[in-house]
Structure 1
């Protein structure tokens, strides 16, 4: 813990090696600052960062935009985007974490790390305090498990930011529940949109914001998940499984299943079925 007049801070940096990076996500640092900290001048990171404010107000300059910050809130800093930030005169309480890896980019694709709107409101500040604290506790100097533990805690922190966010009014509609309910019916995306009283474009946007994918992809994953359950848990022939999940053509179902799962339905059944003792 370091202290300057009016400021208290704690920082821990990590230097994972190539083996840790093969985990897909690495934590490069975590810290907390309380008080009247100086404004961070313009800079550009080569990695990702997430910053959580539990108290105070301030400003964020991000990609040529200036955005107000009012706690509780969090914001994301992306590689290659110039930014700077700092509190108003009253100071603030801040947690931050640096991270990188292919999984970070996957979290972007899934909508957990936003690309265009860096600032998000927080509904459950206590949950984020817990998640950042858990990450900080993994950063133990001299412990050979630190980088692995920190990577796992970083995954949990990213998930915690999603759960702690103020619900998206668009993604909060019963879109996913309706798609999941009707996933195994022979229903088009246009028909799903009509059922929900939405345009197809609005349905695509709501599904992307809620699940990080298109309605078609969400329905396909739900169908294949149900197919796995039927293959592993019943004696239904593959033709019947295909029909149960909305495919009239069992050959097409087999091709789709094989492409997405990596093996044909019959092989999946052989691997997953367990006979009596």
Structure 2
């Protein structure tokens, strides 16, 4: 097997011709259990959408290896967008609501994200750039008002198994279909929240020529009016999170074009209206 360590990850991948061994580091906060649980559920309710779970022991999850190349950084043609939407829709419909309701909340749910935003914004000096500073201030004021509704809706809507990682690198295109990998943060979520994370992940817009068309993707889901409202407020939340992560996070998050943080600030302000 060959080994690869994704940047800023909590695991090491041993890649074989037909299998992948994902070795989680000590202190990985239950990520191996989350990965195994999600893969087991999807193998039952949506076989073929994600790797098949093969074995789990001592912080190592062994799974089947899927074909395909990551969508991140590649042109998101209508064909690929259809396949991406189909895969995400299948994921969010696969696990029965009564089963999803018993899952632990996904990592980076509303309480986790709100706490992280406030902690990081409070610990970092104000941005030197006035537009970034203005976007952050507007975002924090919005959050103070919106937090109760953000929390309440998530408790009232139909629960789903959420992947909890919108990085387009986790969506593999094989020329016909898209399959999903990386479920170490997965858990109970709701459909608009998962779509919002996908739309606002930095991987969806930072690469020239490989920008995810949010309106085109959302149009493929037929959201209700309530889900559309939820989607907007969740997109605002994730855009604010990315602003504090990109502006004050570890250097790896800043390995992007020099104007990434400024563009993120503009995205947030546009979403805030």
Query: Which bracket does the TM-score occupy, shorter chain normalised?
Result: under 0.3
Report the structure number with the largest CA radius of gyration.
Answer: 1
Larger RCO (alpha carbons 8 Å, 6+ apart): 2
Bigger strand fraction: 1
TM-score normalized with structure 2 length: 0.23
Bigger helix fraction: 2
